[in-house]
Amino acid sequence: MTNKDYYERLGVEKSATKEQIKKAFKKKALKYHPDRAPEDKKKEYEEKFKEINEAVSVLGDEKKRQQYDQFGPDAFQGGGAGHQGFDFSDVMSQFRSGSFGNFDDIFDSLFGGGGRRRSGARRGSDLAYETEITLEDAAHGTKQEIQLNKLEHCPECSGEGATKFESCHHCHGSGYMKRTQRTPFGLFQQTGPCPYCHSKGKLPQDSCKKCSGEGLVRKKKKIEVTIPAGVESGMRLRVRGEGEVGSNNGPSGDLYVIIYVKDHQYFQRDEQDLHLTVPISFTQATLGDEIEVPTIDGKASLKIPEGTASETVFRMRGKGLPDLRGSGSGDQMVKVQITVPKKLTKKQKDLIKQLKEEKPSKSFLKKMLGI
């Protein structure tokens, strides 16, 4: 009695993944391989083998599996619509155990997995381009024009590699060919791209002089890239499709722009924060002042409170670099350093001498002397 349940035939759950079905099929197909059948069980093995093939021809195909789940096995019985041209009568004569080596290929070609295309289409190479920008550009974002020397379709032959063509006699100009493939599971027909004309339906009659038939030429091309504000040194920017063109209608590669941010004369960067050291005079530190400091967006004023010690760091909120993802900005940290003048006028000297004669505050002295 034939088991009508395809899942049971393969010994998998109804929820089995395609991978599990593939695995189960492989196992069963190897087991009931007709060549391995004992003399007295040849008929039985052959029957089993057919059953497994029938089951996998449905369950291995997403669409058919859906139909099967909905309508049951009757939708597929008797070599009806579900059989993809499997010819099981031929199984015995073709089947060679050795050919199981490329089992995955066979499975994939049956069910369209694996993506092995033979049209000759090849993706173009990715390109890398290094560029240097200033810290200001990193802070504000910038556009940069870069010049590439990359492979493009030949303008002379529009990338065809030839200027004269004749209809491909292999596929009669259709670009597609029906192939009968012999597999351990039988003969089946498959329509695929014509390998002779790479599914173009025509064959070249000459060779383009400009590109020597390659269809590709190296050309200078200018591209404008937008560098976002907040970019960090070493980041790669991907520009889709701006790599080299693919051959035989393959897609273009991508361009990677690698960005280096130059060191700045005054600012040191720490992620989004900027660090800056500014000199102030002794009097500014003592009496307090409002000074102008550079920021990445221009000048800004900073209040120095009375009695500021050297090396004090002031935080200027939001004056750092913007976040690349647009969530706020870093801060600018300003360290003040009190400078000691080397040259003084007579008047200045006198003033400082006066200052010297002033006694330091008692508490300070006490602290120093430990009393």
- Residues near Zn ion, by CB under 5 A: 154, 156-157, 168, 170-171, 194, 196-197, 208, 210-211
**Choice between 168 and 302, CB closer to Zn ion:** 168
State the minimum distance, in angstroms, from the CB of residue 152 to Zn ion: 11
**Choice between 57 and 119, CB closer to Zn ion:** 119
State the minimum distance, in angstroms, from the CB of residue 154 to Zn ion: 3
Helices (H), the chain: 6-10, 18-31, 42-59, 62-71, 91-94, 103-111, 135-140, 282-287, 346-357, 362-369
**Choice between 100 and 176, CB closer to Zn ion:** 176
**Choice between 144 and 174, CB closer to Zn ion:** 174
State the minimum distance, in angstroms, from the CB of residue 250 to Zn ion: 17
Token reading at 239: 């520009």
Contact predicate 163/209, CB 8 Å: no
State the minimum distance, in angstroms, from the CB of residue 170 to Zn ion: 4
Token reading at 52: 């497994």
Q: Are strands 332-339 and 273-281 parallel, antiparallel or unpaired?
A: parallel
**Choice between 176 and 256, CB closer to Zn ion:** 176
Helices 42-59, 62-71: crossing angle, 10 deg rounding: 100
Tell which residue, 97, 105, 81, has the closest CA to residue 49: 97
> In degrees rounded to 5, what are phi and psi of residue 28?
-65, -40
**Choice between 69 and 166, CB closer to Zn ion:** 166
Q: How far apart are the first and last CA of the chain?
A: 110
State the minimum distance, in angstroms, from the CB of residue 294 to Zn ion: 55
State the minimum distance, in angstroms, from the CB of residue 197 to Zn ion: 3
